[in-house]
């Protein structure tokens, strides 16, 4: 993971994965398991000793109180000295692809590496979760888990992830369907709906739970057709919680018309990204690009990798 470690003044470099939630976002906040996957794009970070704390993201000095609060929380968690940290994103921020968690994990790994320390899950995730709490208030921890392990797993809040072994790396079509939405706002929206309509929301959560359970069986069997159907149902249920948008529905429609086996929003919704499962994900990406959207194929490794380079 690190390139130079061990001595005072060393530079630590590391990376972390972005993520997609295959099924179960929002429900995971209420204790329902979700299925997530780390993807082969995320964030890179380097850290080295400096007289003043510095944080540069995508070539620009970090601005605003939130990001500094998050950086301080992460540094305090690791008892880090004063460092200059540079980080670069490989996924669009605020789009449900786990950009902030990937930054948190990559930075925590780089900081530990610059300190000459190992970077086990316990320390990295504690630091990255401290960073995430500043942005997301009450994160379930699913994003940082995906950023750390980069594989496919079932996640229940407060429990260790259950890794799902895949027959082959999972290849997904991913598109930025709309402008970013705030995860905090979207999570609060569901909480408010639940206060007003507990019957509706709790039935929806139960239904999502059963979709997740079935999808967890489809994945190790390589049943993409089954997985796609379950993703479509999940999208319908998310729409019922007011998490979808016309842009998201349009992106799902384009994917299905071009032969996708299933498509849904991923992450908080209200904008952000759509994922589609298909025999030929490149064809779906091409259809989205023809419609003027930014899209790419993401790959998820079949096994967990703690030493993500
Ligand atoms: O940060 P996002 O957009 O990937 O959303 C995270 C998933 C939620 O279930 C909506 C929130 C959470 O903390 O799990």
Contact between 61 and 54 under an 8 Å Cβ cutoff? The reply is yes
> Given this model, what pLDDT does residue 305 score?
60
pLDDT one-digit tens code per residue, 237-288: 999 999 999 999 999 999 999 999 999 999 999 999 999 999 999 999 999 9
Angle at 107 between CA 90 and CA 15, to 5 degrees: 45
Distance 50 CA to ligand 1 centre (A): 34
Higher pLDDT, 168 or 190: 190
Nearest CA to 131 out of 98, 96, 101, 89 is that of 101
Predicted confidence at residue 94, as pLDDT, reads 81
Q: How far apart are the first and last CA of the chain?
A: 4
For 108-149, how does the pLDDT look when each residue is reduced to its tens digit (9 = 90+)?
Answer: 999 999 999 999 999 999 999 999 999 877 778 899 999 999
pLDDT reported for residue 301:
80
Tens of pLDDT, residue by residue over 7-43, are: 446 899 999 999 999 999 999 999 999 999 999 999 9
Ligand 1 centroid to 139 CA: how many Å? Answer: 7
Q: Which residues line ligand 1 (CB under 6 A)?
A: 21, 25-26, 28-29, 96, 98, 136, 139-140, 142-143, 183, 187, 267-268
Write the DSSP string, 86-123: EEEESS-TTSSS-HHHHHHHHHHHHHHHHTT----HHH
Q: How far is the CA of 146 from the centre of ligand 1 (A)?
A: 12
Domains in the chain, CATH or no CATH each: 11-163 (3.30.230.10), 170-300 (3.30.70.890)
| pLDDT score at 232 | 98
Of 142, 155, 264, 266, the one to substitute when testing ligand 1's pocket (max ligand atoms within 8 A of C-beta) is: 142
Q: Looking at the predicted structure, is the pLDDT value of residue 304 above 70? A: no
User: Which of the listed residues 103, 194, 212, 267 should we mutate to test ligand 1's pocket, taking the one with most ligand atoms within 8 A of CB?
Assistant: 267
Q: What is the pLDDT of residues 154-163, one digit of tens each?
A: 999 889 999 9
Tell me which residue has its CA closest to atom 6 in ligand 1: 267
**Which of 25, 99, 272 is the pocket-test mutation for ligand 1 (most atoms within 8 Å of CB)?**
25
pLDDT in tens, 73-91: 999 999 999 999 999 999 9
228 CA distance to ligand 1 middle (Å) = 21
Ligand 1 mean position to 288 CA, how many Å? 24
pLDDT of residue 306: 59
What CA–CA distance (Å, rounded) separates 277 from 246? 20
Sign of CA dihedral 279, 282, 288, 290: negative
DSSP state letter for 159: S
pLDDT in tens, 189-235: 999 999 999 999 999 999 999 999 999 999 999 999 999 999 999 99
Task: Tell me, yes or no, if the pTM score tops 0.75.
Answer: yes
Ligand 1 centre to CA of 285 (Å) is 24
CB 28 within 8 A of CB 140: yes
What is the average pLDDT across 290-309? 80
């Amino acid at each position: 993971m690190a390139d130079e470690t061990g001595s005072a003044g060393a530079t630590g470099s590391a990376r972390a994965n972005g993520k997609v939630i295959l099924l179960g976002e929002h429900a995971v906040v209420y204790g329902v398991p979700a299925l997530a996957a780390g993807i082969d794009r995320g964030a890179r970070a380097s850290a080295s000793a400096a007289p003043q704390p510095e944080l540069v993201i995508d070539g620009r000095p970090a601005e605003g109180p939130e990001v500094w609060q998050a950086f301080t929380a992460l540094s305090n968690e690791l008892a880090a000295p004063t460092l200059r940290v540079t980080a670069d994103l490989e996924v669009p921020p605020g789009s449900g692809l786990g950009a902030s968690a990937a930054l948190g994990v990559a930075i925590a790994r780089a900081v530990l590496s610059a300190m000459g320390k190992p970077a086990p899950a316990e320390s990295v995730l504690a630091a990255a979760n401290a960073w995430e709490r500043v942005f997301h208030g009450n994160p379930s921890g699913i994003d940082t888990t995906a950023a750390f392990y980069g594989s496919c797993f079932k996640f229940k809040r407060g429990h260790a992830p259950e890794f799902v072994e895949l027959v082959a790396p999972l290849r997904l079509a991913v598109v930025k369907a709309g402008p970013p939405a705030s995860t905090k706002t979207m999570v609060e929206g569901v909480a408010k709906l639940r206060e007003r309509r507990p019957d509706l929301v709790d039935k929806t959560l139960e239904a999502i739970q059963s979709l997740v359970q079935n999808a967890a069986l489809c994945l190790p069997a390589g049943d993409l057709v089954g997985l796609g159907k379950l993703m479509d149902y999940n999208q319908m249920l998310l729409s019922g919680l007011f998490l979808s948008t016309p842009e998201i529905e349009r992106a799902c429609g384009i994917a299905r018309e071009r032969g996708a086996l299933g498509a849904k929003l991923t992450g908080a919704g209200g904008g952000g990204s759509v994922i589609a499962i298909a025999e030929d994900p490149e064809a779906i990406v091409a259809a989205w690009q023809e419609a003027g959207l930014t899209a790419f194929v993401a790959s998820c490794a079949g096994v967990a990798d703690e030493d993500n380079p």
